Structure 1
Amino acid sequence: MANSLKSAQFLMESRRPATGWQSAEECFELGVAYSCGTGGMPVDLIEAHKWFNLAASRGSEEGQAMRAEIAEEMTAREIAEAQRQARAWIAASQLRAA
């Protein structure tokens, strides 16, 4: 489990520009990684939904489709948590960019 968390942190840090904002494609790739467990990452649908949501907010139609697809496997509470995390990530990124 520790290696999976390190892999996830490395993937996130390696894809995060200095401003904290990521492209729709980068957010989508993180969503895929969390939804499939790519690269030894744990499957985490809340994290996947968050990243697909961020990709969708940047105009990714694939992000919208995948967000809807995994939402079918999530509870309303999990979706609400993913949305809360996405909003928090955007707010924190805007503060870092300011």
Structure 2
Amino acid sequence: MANSSRSAQFLMESRLADAARGTAEDCFELGVAYSCGTGGMPIDLVEAHKWFNLAALKGSDEGQTMRAEIAEEMTAREIAQAQRQARAWIASTQLRAA
């Protein structure tokens, strides 16, 4: 079990590093990982919505579709939290790039 957790953590860290470079596909893949619990990660719809939102902002039609689908399973508060996290991610990556 610990091996699976380490593997999942490595996978997520790798995907986060890719997403920091900013492609829609990398953001979409993180959304899928969080919405499905890929690699033993717990399902987190707030994180999934955040990443699908970021993918959609970068032009991903799939990201837009998946964001809408999981929003149906979330409360308004959870959606607002995901949107705040997406804005914070954008701000933090812009600061790192400057």
Letter in 2 for 1:35: S
RMSD: 2.2
Once the two structures are TM-superposed, the CA of residue 14 in structure 1 deviates from its matched residue by: 1.3
Check if 1:49 corresponds to 2:49. yes
Q: Write 1 or 2 for the structure with the bigger share of helix.
A: 2
TM normalised by structure 1 equals 0.87
Structure 1: runs of 5 or more not aligned: none
* Count of aligned positions: 96
Between 1 and 2, higher relative CO (CA 8 Å, sep ≥ 6) is seen in: 1
Unmatched segments (≥5 aa) in structure 2: none
Q: Match for residue 75 of structure 1?
A: 75
Q: Equivalent pairs: percent with the same residue?
A: 77
TM-score with structure 2 setting the length: 0.87
Counterparts in 2 of 1:1-98, with a 5 A limit? 4=5, 7-8=8-9, 10-15=10-15, 16-17=17-18, 20-98=20-98
Contact 1:20 1:97 in 2 (8 A): no
Q: Deviations over 1:21-74 (max 9, x none)?
A: 321001000000100001111100000000000000000000000000000000
Q: Which runs of 4+ in 1 moved over 6 A?
A: none
